[in-house]
Amino acid sequence: MIFPATTALFAGLLGLLFIGLSAWVMGGRVRGNVLLGDGGKDTLQRRIRSHGNFSEYVPMALGLVALLEAGGTRHWIVVPLLTILLVARLLHPVGMLAPENSPRQFTCRGGGIIATLLVTLVAAILLIIHAI
């Protein structure tokens, strides 16, 4: 088994993004004087869900790609998957704060989650193929 160095690098970058999203939520809480929940504030709820969505989807996608890389999958497959994941996770919170039904919401939020799911799907299928 190979150490998944490329995935480790991207995991570090995504970890920094997670910290940034955490700080973004904390800033919204401090600004809105909200200690628990979202205080009925739509913007804070969107920040919280951006952070939650990240923590719900990124670990699985990263784990699948790490297994691919550790199993010897070619670099030219691993790097694009991780790059798409990183860009998708940067776009998603931008779309979460976009006006309802706007092009930015569709492109950033929708595109971010669809790209995240596609990375997860492709990695899962490649792992199954690799295991057969």
Q: How many alpha carbons lie under 13 Å from residue 85 in its C-beta half-sphere?
A: 33
Pairwise CA distance, residues 9 & 15, whole Å: 10
Instruction: Give the chain's domains with CATH numbers.
Output: 5-131 (1.20.120.550)
What's the pTM value of the predicted model, to 2 decimals? 0.92
Which residues neighbour 115 within 8 Å (Cβ) at sequence distance 6 or greater? Answer: 84, 85, 87, 88, 91
38-79: pLDDT as tens digits: 888 889 999 999 999 999 999 999 999 999 999 999 999 999
